[in-house]
Amino acid sequence: MTANQNAAPRINRFVWTFDAYPYRVVPEDDGLALDFPDFPEIACFIPHDENDRDIEAYALDAVIAALRGRIERRQPVPVGDSRAGNVVRIPFLAQNKLALYHGLVERGLSNRAFAKMLGKSEGIVRRLLDLDHESSYRSLAAALDSIGIRHQERVEFLAEAV
């Protein structure tokens, strides 16, 4: 045997993040348009009388709707990018659901096949992937673990405590 035959198999590790998606604010005559490079299907217009908080809420609603549509159509979900200027921050539970969906697609597992693998109903799997359903983190973590995905929690300090 050669040295390579005795070596442990190499495991490829990938880091997927679904924590944030960039957007651009484009001024128009009647208000603002939001442009999402990762989601060409989004058309979002905001009247001039909305404030910055409203813009962030519109942006989050638009991205969640686009992600929901991609999951329903079994289309790829883009990996997030939090390095851009304006970004939509995805809620923690939804990040985990996106990681689970991405993992299932990468492994070629249908909802039915995954449910069978878990010994659960397909309805449970659909709820785990439903961005609007309040799944328990424990159930989601177990589903992620079952396909070899480990989600690391990350805490960022955005401002210094006073």
149: Cβ contacts below 8 Å, ≥ 6 apart: 99, 100, 103
Residues 123 and 84 grouped into a single domain:
no
Residue 111 lies in a domain: yes
Residues 134 and 95 grouped into a single domain:
yes
Residue 20 lies in a domain: yes
Res 14: pLDDT: 53
pLDDT tens-digit map of 26-49: 999 888 999 999 999 998 988 877
Residue 9 lies in a domain: no
Asked whether the whole model's pTM tops 0.85, one would answer: no
The one-letter amino acid code at 98 reads L
- CATH number for 40: 3.30.160.250
Residue 118 lies in a domain: yes
Domain extent at residue 114: 91-150
In the listed set 59, 74, 89, which residue is the last one of a domain according to the structure? 89
Dist. CA 44–CA 63, nearest whole Å? 10
Res 35: pLDDT: 94
pLDDT tens-digit map of 49-69: 777 678 889 999 999 999 999
Dist. CA 55–CA 24, nearest whole Å? 11
Res 149: pLDDT: 87
Residues 108 and 119 grouped into a single domain:
yes
